[in-house]
Amino acid sequence: MATAGSQSSLHQNHVQRGVATDSDADNDTDAGLESDSEDSVESESDSVIYQVEPFVTYQDRIRTLAREVLWKDVSDEDLVVERLGNGSYNRVIGIARQGNGVTGKMEYVVRIPWNHEKDDLEKDIAPLLFVKEKTQIPSPDVIVYDSTPDNVLESPYVIQSRVPGVNAHSIIMKNDEAHKITHDGWCKLAYDLGRVVNQMLSVHNNKPGQLVLDSSDSRNILIAPLQTTVGDSPEACRLDSSSQPEDTACSLLPRLCYYQRALDLEKDPEDTYDQMELLARMATDMGETGHLDNIPHTFCHLDFFLRNMIISVNPFTHEPKIEGILDWDSALFAPAFMVCEPPAYLWNSTMRGEAEDEDQDYEDWHIDITFDPITEEDKKVKRIFEEAAGEEYVRFAYDPVYRLARRLFQFGIKGIHGNVAHDESEKLLEYWRTLNDAPKEVASRFPESMESVDMEPTHQQSDHPTMETASDAETGLKRWLRGVKEKLRRLSTM
């Protein structure tokens, strides 16, 4: 068992009261709202799917664990155990102590990997510890963890603080009347989120990769470089922010795509589905334009969407406060453009109240869709966000090439799995061909539906002093398109 205090100055008695957990991205973070009967039904379902002990008996183990590592003297009446919404990767259970002189509740969250794997747990913990150590970004505290099965749960686990507030998606995208935000509130939220983005952009490393705990000393955080060749994984190494990037975005993106293609062929040597190869060629061509030069590797939250933000709204002033950014499991060091997807819901009110599902967050790689600010108030909100996020954000946020590169990088690290991902990869290639005004002979290598695409390359406009005007951006883009046209002709003959 290990505590996090030695690495991030956390204390077991420092917790926050609230209803949200750092659970998985597809999990409902408005926790603790289910009835006991619903808990029993859902728990039985999960226990069958994941072949684990049902909550009705498992909660006794949780009570024992709470007494062993948190509160040795707590009574049954004062110890509250509740099943929270489980995610795809973790079983999530809430524990709290109340009564006996305790002011309010002392609330925590226990996360147990479904697969009971040590490595998976430590990959979840390392980014959280890193965020606490290197940034001021609000996030859950790691209280205590055990990466071995040598405990009452017979599984690795982590106990985290429970973040106060409400899931931001329910407030912003569903236009929740109970938490109405004023214009001044939107300005404050834009500034606060801009500072979060700025902090991530300010943390560099010379290699892209995922954070892991040092196997020989868990107080140290290392980086496991992204794998780009079939075979043994690269060895984890120390973080290094002082030297130049060793693996530039220009070379990284094509190699990630070719690696995914190699994995497909390793599983099935007769596989003729070469979509990843087409994406690799797209990445190579994108690099030849110069867009991928001189890009640092920065700390990225790859699921930086509303569903993973917890905010509270002051009932008197209607000002929002970011209480915590959740789900750092997917965080890694990656090219800086991965941090720079514009949160257009801040400055375009037409986006609010439209999304019924948490997975319908704005995806900016659809470059035929723009969400420019409409009113003067919205323009002010956008300007405040950009000024807080900084010039590096502005460099990578709106250019259609970087918008496509963000989705391309995701394919490079995850591959193409399922019909939805396949359709998205087809659309990505459509956008690339249309953006570059490729000659007709190239069109035969892409879906026929591209012939009907009628889209002008767009570049969002802003009052920010570091941004190009729309006309300047369009002129520069056309100049670049002429240069890339010949490269695409060569691609058609490959």
Asked if residue 203 lies in contact with residue 296, where contact means CB atoms within 8 angstroms, the answer is: no
At 468, is the pLDDT very low, low, confident or very high (cuts 50, 70, 90)?
A: very low
325 pLDDT higher than 50: yes
| pLDDT tens per residue across span 106-128 | 899 999 988 777 777 888 899 99
Q: Which of 60, 346, 49, 27 is nearest to 185 (CA)?
A: 346
* Higher local confidence (pLDDT), 112 or 273: 112
User: Other C-beta atoms within 10 Å of 234: how many?
Assistant: 15
* pLDDT score at 100: 66
* Mean pLDDT lowest among 18-27, 170-179, 344-353, 424-433: 18-27
State residue 305's pLDDT score: 87
Residue 248 pLDDT exceeds 70:
yes
Whole-number Å distance between alpha carbons of 407 and 275: 14
pLDDT band at 362 (very low <50, low <70, confident <90, very high): low
pLDDT of residue 469 exceeding 50 = no
CB neighbours of 323 closer than 8 A, spacing ≥ 6? 16, 18, 20, 138, 163, 164, 165, 310, 311, 312
List own/partner pairs for 465-471 with CB under 8 A and 24 or more apart: 466/391, 466/394, 467/386, 467/394, 467/398
- Residue 283 above 80 pLDDT? yes
Query: Can you give the pLDDT at residue 316?
Result: 85
Kindly report the number of other CB atoms within 10 A of residue 185's CB atom: 18
Q: Is the pLDDT of residue 460 over 80?
A: no
User: Given a cut of 70, is residue 360 above it in pLDDT?
Assistant: no
Cβ atoms 31, 85 nearer than 8 A: yes
CA distance 363 to 303: 11
User: Whole-angstrom Cα distance, residue 19 to residue 34?
Assistant: 12
Lowest mean pLDDT among 310-319, 400-409, 470-479: 470-479
Per-residue tokens: 56: 């009705």
Q: What pLDDT is stored for residue 51 in this prediction?
A: 66
DSSP state of 379: H
491 has a pLDDT exceeding 60: no
Cα 118 from Cα 114, distance rounded (Å): 11
What is the C-alpha separation between 274 and 261, in angstroms, rounded? 7
Cα-based angle 400, 403, 405 (whole degrees, multiple of 5): 110
pLDDT at 385 over 70: yes
Across the range 345-352, mean pLDDT stands at 80
Which pLDDT does position 49 carry in this prediction?
52
Q: How far apart are CA 25 and CA 152, in angstroms?
A: 27
C-alpha to C-alpha distance for 447 and 441, rounded to whole angstroms: 13
H or E element in which residue 222 lies:
strand 221-225
Taking the C-alpha atoms of residue 111 and residue 417, their distance in angstroms, rounded to an integer, is: 27
Mean pLDDT of 242-258: 90
**Percent share of the chain, pLDDT over 90:** 51
> Which ranges in 268-320 belong to alpha helices (H)?
275-288
Q: Which residue did the predictor score with more confidence, 345 or 69?
A: 69
User: Rounded CA gap, 197 and 388, in Å?
Assistant: 8
**73-87, 205-219, 253-267, 433-447: least confidently modelled range:** 433-447
Full set of structural domains in the chain with CATH: 2-164 (3.30.200.20), 168-204+297-492 (no CATH)
Rounded CA gap, 392 and 438, in Å? 30
- Cβ(183)–Cβ(377) under 8 Å? yes
| pLDDT (tens digit per residue) in 216-239 | 887 899 999 999 988 888 899 999
Taking alpha carbons only, the member of 286, 330, 288 closest to residue 428 is 286
- pLDDT digits over 23-53, tens only? 443 343 333 323 333 344 444 555 555 567 8
The three-class DSSP label of residue 170 is helix
Average pLDDT, the chain: 78
Give the span between the Cα atoms of 176 and 308, in whole angstroms: 17
